[in-house]
Structures are given as structure tokens and as C-alpha cells.
Amino acid sequence: MIFYAPGNEKNETVFTAETVRKGVKEFLLKYSAPTSLSPKALPLSNFVTVISLHSGSEGEKYMKEFLKEKEWTGRVVFVTNDDN
């Protein structure tokens, strides 16, 4: 599990979203099967990124739009202050 709290203001999420997306992709490609060199690597489906945001915030709106436009490696789960 990777936990990511990008912030609730749009400028905070804009600042971190692309860098974190690239970092998660690189990490998962290195440590998950079938791209990992380790014979004990777990499949990519075992990894999840949890993105925590305040419900209805500008940050939440931006991240949902960002994910529609950009591919995120692995599963993504959103949690908010309403349903954490």
C-alpha cells in the first residue's frame, strides 16, 4: 500500500501529482511481477495507492480530473474525511 495525501488546495495537488505518479510507477515496475527481477515479487494487482482528500475540496476535484487524463500504475482507492 502506498498512502498519498496530496493536499486539499488545487495548487498543492498540482505541485505533487505528476511527481508522485511517476514515482509510484517507477516503484511498482521495479518491485512487482512480472517486471521485477525478484522471483518472489508479488503481482501488480497486490499493490494499491490510497489517495486521501477532503470531500468536495478543490484538491479532490483536481486529482479526479488528473487521473482521468493520466494513467496511474496499480489500483487507486480514494478516501475522504467522510468515508475514511
Q: What is the pLDDT of residues 18-38, one digit of tens each?
A: 999 999 999 999 999 998 888
pLDDT at 84 over 90: no
Q: What is the mean pLDDT of residues 44-70?
A: 95
pLDDT at 75 over 90: yes
**pLDDT band at residue 82 under the 50/70/90 scheme:** confident
Cα atoms in the Cβ-side hemisphere of radius 13 Å centred on 25: 10
> For residues 37 and 59, which has the higher predicted lDDT (pLDDT)?
59
- Show the 3-state SS of the chain: CEEECCCCCHHHHHHHHHHHHHHHHHHHHHHEECCCCCCCCEEHHHCEEEEEECCCCHHHHHHHHHHHHCCCCCEEEEEECCCC
